[in-house]
A and B are shown apart, each in its own frame.
Chain A
């Protein structure tokens, strides 16, 4: 309504022609009672009403928003539960499939997912870890998942499918996915149902969608909160993550035998020991030696004070004391102690690196850091060309000599890819295995004229917090129970020295590890399937390659006489002849080359006559069983395949053919001399157990003259007279023939100053025989994947089609004993290994770098394999078989070596041993008195060994290992398209 002026009304009335009197009366009433207050009141009422409605709408909106947020969060938590379940179910399902092939490509992945296992080589399907054991085995990964989810209970039927099912992709799924073999699961309740309520509980469902690339599976988890709905639909949240099929191990070392990691050895990655024999002498599953003990007497005192606190205060067993921890911090020794006697507190236990922990590294830096800048400047030799070139050396003795150049290099060169961009290392122009001034670092930033990794501490000439030192940068896992270990061997702290720094908030140590986390890598996992590596050794036969390089025919090799003098760079071959006269010796044994076994060991158990091949190049070679050669300065291109008899479980396998040097002799002779039985008249009482093919006239019978080793060492008419004849082992028969020298059926090879451009592999002997099947790499032997000086020479580089397999492993020699380096490795040694390194037992000494993982196969069990005597009775100590990285001695269970710390020091030089015969090698250990006329051999130093686990490492095909599903971190997504 609007008010109108009376004049206007009047005018309008005239114009309108209404009766004048009536209009006047009306005008008078309006003039007296115009109702303005009511109008205003109504306006206010409308205003207030509008405001109230606005408030109601606003508050309703707030409520709706808050309630929605609340239920969305609950649905999100349900979806995250679904993703957690998916992750676990994928891992369990994948772990059921044990596959020999390792090349997980698109077709491999799809065949595994969809159930075409026959194309994957040898395979086995295991029972589920937690699910029903009485259902049929699934034919593929999708079926395994569906089976596992079919056991879910408390199903919410209001949404999704009623039971787990495999089906086709939804119509709108897109080309990103495969169109079949999707796995759909029903919704599963996360919370209990509310009594009396018909509202379903919080729930999740999962869809497993195979991606088009064949190897990835997208787990799409949807959470439902039915307590809040719109248009009849519950609140939903969907999240997804991709998982990729993989076949690998997760540790830098996995060993069923003891592991010993010595001084100047750093491990970046997890360590897993499956060794269980803790009750034997030295039966520690893992031994870690401090890198800093023995550098300086005062530092040793500080270390001792620090170590004294660890048993009481190191709560988590990482050999570090956390500064902010209520208990661990109490154990940090006082800094007021004056160790060096200068009357000033040393503040020796500060957290110099600022990482929140006090550990050996802090003590080390604090000790040598003369100017207190938190850095230890290396010697002039090691700072040359670095940003610290002009600084005053600190890691030197008071006399200015370097303290331990190997340790300095080890720490300063650790973690070469500091910025994690995948580019690291340097061009080793002088091939000395370390970066020197003038050599080009690969991760160079031309814009700033800086080496990116060097900026972050790599070979910057100082040791400081940038080096992030840890003895073990990872977790150590044990199969054994902790209490069993400690009750047998005592507190762990003296056994395990050095900081253990696990990643991702994991515990530094775990015990009673499962097979899933610590797989059993026994030799059976290699199975009968020939690996791709073995197949790649398809070059010309060994004899042909040798003969070709010598310029003679193969038939001439048997009489070849080397004319090139020692030291010549031409191919050289020194023969070892056969045993035509059956005396157990090569017929040219008076001139043939021989050496102790192990080479250069203070303590040894056998001798080998070896043919010597020098200055030769072999390509994709198979080295026949029984070669037992020494290769000097040879190049092995492609895959080198070492052959041997695989059925080597006879109890006397290590004894047949063993040699000694009798007193008064200078050359090895059979430890058990033999005579020929059956070649004289009347010798017709052939051992009854020998097959006809192993008797005259097919084969002469060689019998021990001293004492019988097996039942065939006695004529049948004498057997009854021998006490305990039946306890003697049966003779060894191979291919119908009796074998009394297993050296001819095994391979014990030494490679000196050799270059491997590729990989070395072997047959997989069933038993571990520490001497018969053994590889030793000495001198400056190197492993590379491209020829260092002739990268474009096709002959000197592996065949391109073999590179994929070569990259998986530098060495795959299951159940072989492998020595990398010797007991006194020279400083020129530089072993660089990549990929999965597989051996029975492995020792590394000297300078070595492993980028991959060490996977050991031999599990020493008393009464089995080499741990039994000739009568098959238990003998020996399982703890004497160990994987040794670095130097140890008999007191640690390393029976073939000497602890350098125990070696004598003469004229300031530590003496490794004594050379009697003038060959430059140790004949008598340094722990013995110097023999008259001998020459002291100096200890060449601890060297430096760096073992870095490569998480991207693939393992060689042929190894039967369970599959894994790796979550791909960058693929987590909220919502699903």
Chain B
């Protein structure tokens, strides 16, 4: 009997005490909290990484699209009518007959253009001018319920700025109608003989974001 009592005491002593349980909970809780926080941080940084990669991809798509383009319109060129201070430039920006992305045939057509929601054209677009479509986690193209066609990658815009720049200083911006008159040590440079600098800014606006944020910016210069 005595032996039995001893056994009972011994078995009751093996259970977790309240203190033990509390301490264990605290320790595990700290661990879980740290893990959750780390996971949240991981998700955020992974999202940033994904956005950065997507942004650079979209910027490079515009870069690819422009590789085949001359600086100014192959048909009408960039010309001035009139002279002196009243000279009017023709040919900067899209020409009147260029109404679709496939009509873009020179770099200055792209000046001020945005591809994406609220922009000049739907977007974002790829190097062939096609819509970059949203892909579901299952790897399927998401269909726009309104149009019945593939939905555009949501929240992304590609904005393009094309600037005429000085041949020897790419940060000296020239107006489209600028010509360099011969004088002093420098020769005359016609209105269409300047380099152009192209800057593509890719922005993203998430579903809950109040405004789009700049993801990346890509700049290059095309010489005559």
In chain B, positions 12-61 with a C-beta closer than 8 Å to chain A are 13-14, 16-17, 20-21, 23-25, 27-28, 30-32, 34-35, 37-39, 41-42, 45-46, 48-50, 52-53, 55-56, 59-60
Nearest B-chain residue to A72, judged by Cβ: B56
The interface-forming segment of A58-66, A779-787, A865-873 is A58-66
Nearest B-chain residue to A128, judged by Cβ: B187
A51's partner among B38, B56, B70, B74 (CB-CB below 8 A) is B38
With contacts A55-B42, A316-B75, A510-B74 taken as known, whether A63 is within 8 angstroms of B49 at the C-beta atoms is yes
Instruction: Known A-B contacts: A80-B220, A133-B187, A505-B69. Give 12 more (CB < 8 A).
Output: A37-B20, A48-B31, A55-B42, A62-B45, A70-B53, A74-B216, A77-B220, A85-B221, A154-B170, A316-B74, A324-B102, A325-B103
Residue B175 at the chain A interface, CB threshold 8 Å: no
The interface-forming segment of A28-36, A673-681, A684-692, A711-719 is A28-36
- Distance in Å from the Cβ of A871 to the closest Cβ of chain B? 38
- Distance in Å from the Cβ of B7 to the closest Cβ of chain A? 11
Tell me which residues across on chain B come within 8 A of A128, comparing CB atoms: 187
The interface-forming segment of A172-180, A183-191, A798-806 is A183-191
A202's partner among B37, B73, B219 (CB-CB below 8 A) is B219
With contacts A62-B46, A69-B53, A73-B218 taken as known, whether A134 is within 8 angstroms of B185 at the C-beta atoms is yes
With contacts A56-B41, A73-B59, A73-B60 taken as known, whether A34 is within 8 angstroms of B14 at the C-beta atoms is yes
Residue B111 at the chain A interface, CB threshold 8 Å: no
- Distance in Å from the Cβ of A934 to the closest Cβ of chain B? 52
B42–A58 touching, CB < 8 Å: yes
A509–B74 Cα distance when bound, in Å, is 8
Tell me which residues across on chain A come within 8 A of B17, comparing CB atoms: 33
Residue A171 at the chain B interface, CB threshold 8 Å: no
B186–A52 touching, CB < 8 Å: no
A153–B169 touching, CB < 8 Å: yes
B31's partner among A47, A129, A153 (CB-CB below 8 A) is A47
With contacts A62-B46, A70-B55 taken as known, whether A52 is within 8 angstroms of B219 at the C-beta atoms is no
A87–B59 Cα distance when bound, in Å, is 24
With contacts A51-B38, A88-B223, A130-B167 taken as known, whether A66 is within 8 angstroms of B74 at the C-beta atoms is no
A77–B223 Cα distance when bound, in Å, is 14
A191–B219 touching, CB < 8 Å: yes
A58–B38 Cα distance when bound, in Å, is 11
B34–A49 touching, CB < 8 Å: yes
A58–B168 Cα distance when bound, in Å, is 45
Nearest A-chain residue to B51, judged by Cβ: A66
A42–B73 Cα distance when bound, in Å, is 71
Tell me which residues across on chain A come within 8 A of B21, comparing CB atoms: 37
Show 11 A/B contacts (Cβ-Cβ < 8 Å), sorted by A.
Answer: A32-B13, A37-B16, A41-B25, A55-B38, A60-B45, A65-B49, A130-B187, A153-B169, A192-B171, A202-B219, A315-B75
Residue B189 at the chain A interface, CB threshold 8 Å: yes
Residue A132 at the chain B interface, CB threshold 8 Å: yes
Residue B197 at the chain A interface, CB threshold 8 Å: yes
A65–B50 Cα distance when bound, in Å, is 10
In chain A, positions 501-518 with a C-beta closer than 8 Å to chain B are 505-512
Chain B, 154-192, contact with A by CB distance < 8 Å: what is the 0/1 string? 000000000000111111100000000000111101000
A509's partner among B41, B75, B171, B197 (CB-CB below 8 A) is B75
Residue B193 at the chain A interface, CB threshold 8 Å: yes
A191–B73 Cα distance when bound, in Å, is 25
A52's partner among B10, B35, B69 (CB-CB below 8 A) is B35
B41's partner among A55, A77, A190, A511 (CB-CB below 8 A) is A55
With contacts A49-B31, A49-B34, A132-B186 taken as known, whether A41 is within 8 angstroms of B24 at the C-beta atoms is yes
Residue A40 at the chain B interface, CB threshold 8 Å: yes
Residue B222 at the chain A interface, CB threshold 8 Å: yes
- Distance in Å from the Cβ of B151 to the closest Cβ of chain A? 24
Nearest B-chain residue to A47, judged by Cβ: B31
A84–B63 Cα distance when bound, in Å, is 14
With contacts A34-B14, A315-B75 taken as known, whether A327 is within 8 angstroms of B52 at the C-beta atoms is no
A176–B32 Cα distance when bound, in Å, is 62
Max chain B C-beta neighbours (<10 A), residue from A77, A89, A505: A77
In chain A, positions 103-160 with a C-beta closer than 8 Å to chain B are 127-135, 151-154
Tell me which residues across on chain A come within 8 A of B193, comparing CB atoms: 130
**Count the B residues whose beta carbon is within 8 Å of the partner chain — how many?**
72
Smallest CB-CB A-B distances: 10 pairs: A507-B74, A48-B31, A88-B223, A52-B38, A66-B49, A32-B13, A41-B24, A41-B27, A59-B45, A153-B169
Residue B100 at the chain A interface, CB threshold 8 Å: yes
A67–B17 Cα distance when bound, in Å, is 51
Nearest A-chain residue to B224, judged by Cβ: A88
- Distance in Å from the Cβ of B10 to the closest Cβ of chain A? 6
With contacts A52-B38, A67-B52 taken as known, whether A190 is within 8 angstroms of B186 at the C-beta atoms is no
Tell me which residues across on chain A come within 8 A of B216, comparing CB atoms: 70, 73-74
- Distance in Å from the Cβ of B45 to the closest Cβ of chain A? 4
Tell me which residues across on chain B come within 8 A of A509, comparing CB atoms: 75
Nearest B-chain residue to A36, judged by Cβ: B16
Chain A, 191-203, contact with B by CB distance < 8 Å: what is the 0/1 string? 1110000000010
Residue B99 at the chain A interface, CB threshold 8 Å: yes
With contacts A37-B23, A73-B60, A326-B100 taken as known, whether A87 is within 8 angstroms of B223 at the C-beta atoms is yes
A949–B34 Cα distance when bound, in Å, is 73
Nearest A-chain residue to B100, judged by Cβ: A326
The SS class assigned to the B binding surface is: mixed
Residue B97 at the chain A interface, CB threshold 8 Å: yes
- Distance in Å from the Cβ of A31 to the closest Cβ of chain B? 6
Residue A827 at the chain B interface, CB threshold 8 Å: no
Tell me which residues across on chain A come within 8 A of B217, comparing CB atoms: 74
- Distance in Å from the Cβ of B14 to the closest Cβ of chain A? 7
Nearest B-chain residue to A134, judged by Cβ: B185
Residue A38 at the chain B interface, CB threshold 8 Å: yes
B41–A317 touching, CB < 8 Å: no
In chain A, positions 322-342 with a C-beta closer than 8 Å to chain B are 324-327
A261–B45 Cα distance when bound, in Å, is 66
Chain A, 570-583, contact with B by CB distance < 8 Å: what is the 0/1 string? 00000000000000
Nearest A-chain residue to B54, judged by Cβ: A66
Nearest B-chain residue to A326, judged by Cβ: B99
Residue B8 at the chain A interface, CB threshold 8 Å: no
With contacts A73-B56, A133-B187, A325-B103 taken as known, whether A191 is within 8 angstroms of B171 at the C-beta atoms is yes
Residue B2 at the chain A interface, CB threshold 8 Å: no
A131–B39 Cα distance when bound, in Å, is 58
A33–B20 Cα distance when bound, in Å, is 10
Tell me which residues across on chain A come within 8 A of B74, comparing CB atoms: 316, 505-507, 510
A135–B39 Cα distance when bound, in Å, is 65
Nearest B-chain residue to A481, judged by Cβ: B79
Residue A78 at the chain B interface, CB threshold 8 Å: yes
Tell me which residues across on chain B come within 8 A of A56, comparing CB atoms: 38, 41-42
With contacts A133-B185, A154-B171 taken as known, whether A63 is within 8 angstroms of B48 at the C-beta atoms is yes
A509–B75 Cα distance when bound, in Å, is 7
Tell me which residues across on chain A come within 8 A of B3, comparing CB atoms: none
A510–B56 Cα distance when bound, in Å, is 36
A234–B116 Cα distance when bound, in Å, is 33
Residue A45 at the chain B interface, CB threshold 8 Å: yes
Residue A795 at the chain B interface, CB threshold 8 Å: no
- Distance in Å from the Cβ of A500 to the closest Cβ of chain B? 12
Tell me which residues across on chain B come within 8 A of A191, comparing CB atoms: 171, 199, 219
With contacts A59-B45, A84-B222, A85-B223 taken as known, whether A48 is within 8 angstroms of B34 at the C-beta atoms is yes
- Distance in Å from the Cβ of A80 to the closest Cβ of chain B? 6
Tell me which residues across on chain A come within 8 A of B30, comparing CB atoms: 45
A188–B35 touching, CB < 8 Å: no
Chain B, 66-97, contact with A by CB distance < 8 Å: what is the 0/1 string? 00111001110100000000000000000001
B24–A40 touching, CB < 8 Å: yes
Tell me which residues across on chain B come within 8 A of A49, comparing CB atoms: 31, 34
A45–B30 Cα distance when bound, in Å, is 7
- Distance in Å from the Cβ of A688 to the closest Cβ of chain B? 48
Tell me which residues across on chain B come within 8 A of A130, comparing CB atoms: 167, 187, 189, 193
A37–B24 touching, CB < 8 Å: yes
Nearest A-chain residue to B169, judged by Cβ: A153
